[in-house]
Structure 1
Amino acid sequence: MDAPTMLQVSRHTHPETGDGLVVELTLDRPEAMNAISTAFAQEITATTAVLAADPSVRAVVLTSAHDRAFCVGADLKERNGFTDAQMMDHRLVSKQAYRGVLDLPVPAIAAVEGYALGGGLELALSCDLIVAGEGATLALPEVGVGVIPGGGGTQLLTRRVGWSRAASMIFTARRLTAQEGRDLGVVDELVGAGSARERALALAATIAANSPVAVRNAKRAMRVGMGTDLAAGLDIEDGAWRATAFSGDRAEGVAAFAEKRTPRWPGR
């Protein structure tokens, strides 16, 4: 008998075309507040790999089936019994899961309600945008249990909010309210408690209405260029522009504008 899935996948189709444009990934391990076990990490990796290879996907929303927690991070109960060798094996599996979210070629949005702690916040940081409900609690508390953020937190948070703000969060292991997270720039949009999923799906639908070729190339130029100097970044942008400017989407976009109609993106 197959093990129950901990990651629910649903498609939200366009009301007119029926295309599966927005994919919702729902973390669903309620007994552990979505703590990431080895099996859960493997499921995230496998699912994101499928989505990354699917040209019909235009945006991804990562959410939780339960308002109490988005994700509380690593499954410490599972780790407690690990040998050093098992810990290293789990490390590789865990890294793949976070990279699976980070490397999605389409925009990803985290809808955070409740606790987003440690690896849970790192899952959200691996997305491009974070929408949080007013009752959310955010933290990277790893130094308090003798480790450091290992799902990209030291790098992604610093890039998002700057050195001193990231240092304050990571070095103190303190918890932030959703409002504090918004004030610091950890959270992009703050909404009423219980409304994060609805807002994230609406935002994803807005993104999905645009040219999929243009959106994918814009994300690639931004992500790749962010790690280079300005001159190299501009060259990366130029390559992405050329790949978009001579695409079927660009031709359709111009034609639709001239004809004053909604574009029917070929996605190539």
Structure 2
Amino acid sequence: MTWDTVELDTEDGITTITVDRPDRLNALNVATLEALDEALDEAEKRDTRALVVTGAGDDAFVAGADLAYMKDLGVQEAQEYSELGHRVMTKTETFPVPVIAAINGYAFGGGCELALAADMRVASERAVIGQVEVSVGIMPGWGGIQRLARLVDDEVARRLVYFAERIDAEDADQYGLVGDVVAHDQLDDHVHDLAAEIAAQPKYAIRAAKEAFTKVHRTHLDTGLDYEQRLWSGLFDTADQEEGMAAFVEDREPEWES
């Protein structure tokens, strides 16, 4: 299967999914989310022993969701967009073998959420990471708050979201948001070595362990995800959302009403 904005490659039990929109910093529009959804299904059909998710080019992992598309959404349309994003993040999180996010650059908003859905995160020293949605008048809409608060210290998670902080790779490592930070030109090799080591482990033991981890981290999570999704969609009936996204698209500072 082929897609315009997603690449899929499998070799020696390692499947790599690459978001390929470098001209848009790999932002996740509807077509790309749908392609990711299908690529995850295809990866599961293959003899995948470890899955790597990354972004094309040297600048971005995934710079976020597509604000140019989102800025004019109504509540129902936002709900549908959120449902699609949640489906992809949940499918990533529950993929039957370990998933490694190779964070090779910017990972903001939906890109941070995609990384959070992985089992492990490895960052290039150039990586910059953040749940920045508040800066455009909304909040994380694809499970970012639920997963972030389960991964790092609660106050760290709150600060990252409330202040829309963008943190570098070293701070992300200190907070426990990533497991490794490596030189940019060593990222691919390092991630491949990790994936190869996983792929060499007993297949059924790894799958059982992954299922157990998935169960642990999804206990009582669905209620939070559903509530977060409805909160996010409801923000598309606010002046802050309209102004925040318009300002971003128009390359100006927002003028908040609230």
TM above 0.5, yes or no, is yes
For the residue of structure 1 that corresponds to 2:142, the secondary structure is: coil
CA 1:168–1:83 in 2, change beyond 3 Å: closer, same or farther? Answer: closer
Encode CA deviations 1:81-103: one digit per residue, 9 max, x unaligned: 33333222222222111112111
Runs of 4+ off more than 3 Å:
226-229
How many residues align? The count is 220
Letter in structure 1 aligned against 2:69? E
Question: In structure 2, what is the Cα distance between the partners aligned to 1:194 and 1:63?
Answer: 14
Q: Does 171-180 or 219-228 show the bigger shift?
A: 219-228
Question: In structure 2, what is the Cα distance between the partners aligned to 1:177 and 1:29?
Answer: 22
Letter in structure 2 aligned against 1:6? T
Match of 1:5 in 2: 4
Question: In structure 2, what is the Cα distance between the partners aligned to 1:24 and 1:3?
Answer: 14
Question: In structure 2, what is the Cα distance between the partners aligned to 1:90 and 1:42?
Answer: 11
Question: In structure 2, what is the Cα distance between the partners aligned to 1:139 and 1:213?
Answer: 35
Match of 2:173 in 1: 182
Tell me the CA shift for residue 72 of structure 1. Answer: 0.8
Question: In structure 2, what is the Cα distance between the partners aligned to 1:138 and 1:120?
Answer: 8
For the residue of structure 1 that corresponds to 2:53, the secondary structure is: strand
* 2:45 is the counterpart of 1:41: no
* 2:201 is the counterpart of 1:214: no
Unaligned runs of 5+ in 2: 221-258
Mapping of residues 28-107 of structure 1, within 5 Å: 28-54=20-46, 56-107=47-98
Structure exhibiting the larger radius of gyration computed from Cα positions: 1
Letter in structure 2 aligned against 1:61? V
Encode CA deviations 1:33-72: one digit per residue, 9 max, x unaligned: 1110011111111111222344x11100011221101011
Question: In structure 2, what is the Cα distance between the partners aligned to 1:90 and 1:121?
Answer: 17
Match of 1:147 among 122, 130, 138: 138
For the residue of structure 2 that corresponds to 1:26, the secondary structure is: strand
Tell me the CA shift for residue 27 of structure 1. Answer: 1.0
Question: In structure 2, what is the Cα distance between the partners aligned to 1:52 and 1:150?
Answer: 25
For the residue of structure 2 that corresponds to 1:203, the secondary structure is: helix
Question: In structure 2, what is the Cα distance between the partners aligned to 1:121 and 1:225?
Answer: 21
Question: In structure 2, what is the Cα distance between the partners aligned to 1:64 and 1:195?
Answer: 15
Match of 1:163 in 2: 154
Match of 1:123 among 114, 120, 130: 114
Contact preservation (8 Å) 2:17, 2:52: yes
Match of 2:256 in 1: none
Tell me the CA shift for residue 3 of structure 1. Answer: 9.1
For the residue of structure 1 that corresponds to 2:37, the secondary structure is: helix
Match of 2:235 in 1: none
Unaligned runs of 5+ in 1: 14-20, 230-268
Question: In structure 1, what is the Cα distance between the partners aligned to 2:101 and 2:2?
Answer: 26
Structure with more contact order per residue of length (Cα contacts < 8 Å, sep ≥ 6): 2
CA 1:226–1:86 in 2, change beyond 3 Å: closer, same or farther? Answer: closer
Letter in structure 1 aligned against 2:119? D
Question: In structure 2, what is the Cα distance between the partners aligned to 1:221 and 1:84?
Answer: 36
Contact preservation (8 Å) 1:143, 1:170: yes
Question: In structure 1, what is the Cα distance between the partners aligned to 2:196 and 2:122?
Answer: 14
Question: In structure 1, what is the Cα distance between the partners aligned to 2:55 and 2:219?
Answer: 34
Question: In structure 1, what is the Cα distance between the partners aligned to 2:196 and 2:8?
Answer: 16
Contact preservation (8 Å) 1:113, 1:194: no
Tell me the CA shift for residue 113 of structure 1. Answer: 1.3
Match of 1:237 in 2: none
Contact preservation (8 Å) 1:52, 1:105: yes
* 2:102 is the counterpart of 1:111: yes
Contact preservation (8 Å) 1:59, 1:106: yes
